[in-house]
Structure 1
């Protein structure tokens, strides 16, 4: 912040800072998971392209963007230590604008969720509640290295996958679809744990008990790798049992690539966790879509 800005603080946000607050780079996981649900439903997207498009907008810019704004508002004191350049601590999104944006987008999410039918609206309500439960006092599940990443993993992967399948099939998805969606959501706990490495110092100072803080970087990274790998092994075994061995084999190859990336990351977890989240996670989410294609014939509503 310049001297002029410190003497005359902003009263309204910078437009670019508002976009930064919503973190477009984070929209990909829930959008991808929603599309996995669409594929797994077995319904051709061309038959309901409007619902597909609305779900993509809702899962990414609206719900995920809202969760990022809520998290940045609730984390503004932590970010002042870890990342003071962020929109709120830097003053580019001044006053309570961060809170107002998060609340307005929560309302928008619920309105848009109504257009997705009963299950789509229920899932949207759960997503909004989960976003605030993760970040806001007095619940603030982010303080736990177990519950926090678990909630985010289920919200970013399982919930949008379920929503995509439910909206396209116009009913409760099959047990197979729900099971695979839950497994990938559980595995995402490990991805979220690695994401916590970037806030290690601020979390330690402010009392956030992330796994990198409580276990140390080396042990936390090993736990994250195990948590990512075991659900994928379960997916692989289930697909073989359900008569999709070629899809299972493809996921196995992607797991081997993840194993290589994990071995690189474990040499220096604190430095290489961001690298893994940009490399190894690509193999993880590719496996999700392969599993979704395997489930197409099992995706009819229950």
Structure 2
């Protein structure tokens, strides 16, 4: 069944399980984790602001990230019909324009929930929502670029929620130390997003999405992704050493060394092993994020 046919399917309502699949709960973890990194880095005890912590986690994960997944699947329905025809929209499990309405309704929910977190939280929510639509929707559709697309997603998955968690808990702009570390991990996430593009290689080729796996080929794209993931972590280690946090720097160095070993395995078969690396190397990457967050606690005087 083609995508155009599914838009006119006889089914009128979406199945609840299909809606959950559309929102992709497995993708909620990175922004929730990054938000918690910001909470830890703020130096404020989470127990003093439990509502801000809980609302921020829900907003970063199920709401904003879930909305971005729904928006992306709606805008990508033609690509998914080629790559993954069993997904909810191209398969007809979510019929008609339900995918679009779901994304729009959750967009409104995100903006409303963002007001609970004060001006910093609301501002970050507006940015995240705008970025999600700019990534997926015409005429901007930054997803077409193998540079800007993954960069924007990395920023919104790791940097923005980290910044938001720190700003909301501290009720003000985070110190430059926190901003620098969050930005470095957001840059490194560009490589993670590039590896994620391997699964859509054929559909991207046919529909004009110029991801790095399409423009560079799987082998070169994987090497670029590895360098992009690794170099920012080297910079994090150097900064922590200069700030008098040698133990935290050592732990992150060990985690990076383990990633390098995983990268060597990845490069033996980039397309085939990209999902494996996303389950192993990325876990090591985000573990280093939390180590860095603990290193940043109580460093206000070093901004």
Fold match by TM threshold 0.5: yes
Paired residue for 1:230?
231
**Cα 1:300–1:69, aligned 2, differ >3 Å: closer, same or farther?**
farther
Judge conservation of contact 1:31–1:56 (CA < 8 Å) in 2. yes
Distance 1:185 1:270 in 2: 23
Distance change >3 Å, CA 300–CA 10, structure 1 → 2: farther
Structure 1: state its 5+ residue gaps: none
1:61 equivalent to 2:58? Answer no
Q: Could you tell me which residue of structure 2 aligns to residue 208 of structure 1? A: 209
User: Does structure 1 conserve the Cα–Cα contact (< 8 Å) formed by 2:9 and 2:95?
Assistant: no
For the 8 Å contact 2:72–2:136, the answer to whether it is kept is yes
**Structure 1 ranges of 4+ moved more than 4 A:** 5-8, 299-302
Cα deviation code 1:245-283 (max 9, x no counterpart):
000000000000000100000000010011100110000
Scaled by the length of structure 1, the TM-score of the pair is 0.97
Q: Partners of 1:201 and 1:45 in 2: how far apart?
A: 45
| 1:297 alignment partner, SS class | coil
Superposed displacement of residue 298, structure 1: 2.1
Equivalent in the alignment of 1:280 = 281
The reply on whether 1:246 has 2:247 as its aligned counterpart is yes
CA contact (8 A) 2:184 2:232 kept: yes
Q: In the alignment, what sits opposite 1:37?
A: 38
Aligned pair in 2 of structure 1 residues 8, 263: CA closer, same or farther (>3 Å)? closer
5+ residue gaps, structure 2, are none
Please say if residues 141 and 148 of structure 1, whose CA atoms lie closer than 8 Å, have aligned partners that are also in contact. yes
Q: For residues 54 and 301 of structure 2, what CA distance do their matches in structure 1 show? A: 20
Q: Deviations over 1:54-79 (max 9, x none)?
A: 00000000000000000000000000
List per-residue Cα deviations over 1:229-250 (Å, max 9, x = no partner): 0100000000000010000000
User: Secondary structure of the equivalent of 2:138?
Assistant: coil
1:105-152 Cα distance to aligned partner (Å, 9 max, x none): 111101110110111110000000000000000000000000000000
Partner of 2:222, secondary structure, is helix
> Which residue pairs with 1:88 in the alignment?
89
Alpha-carbon contact 1:18-1:93 (below 8 Å) kept: yes
Q: Deviations over 1:33-52 (max 9, x none)?
A: 00000000000000001110
What CA distance in whole angstroms lies between the structure 2 residues aligned with 1:172 and 1:299? Answer: 11
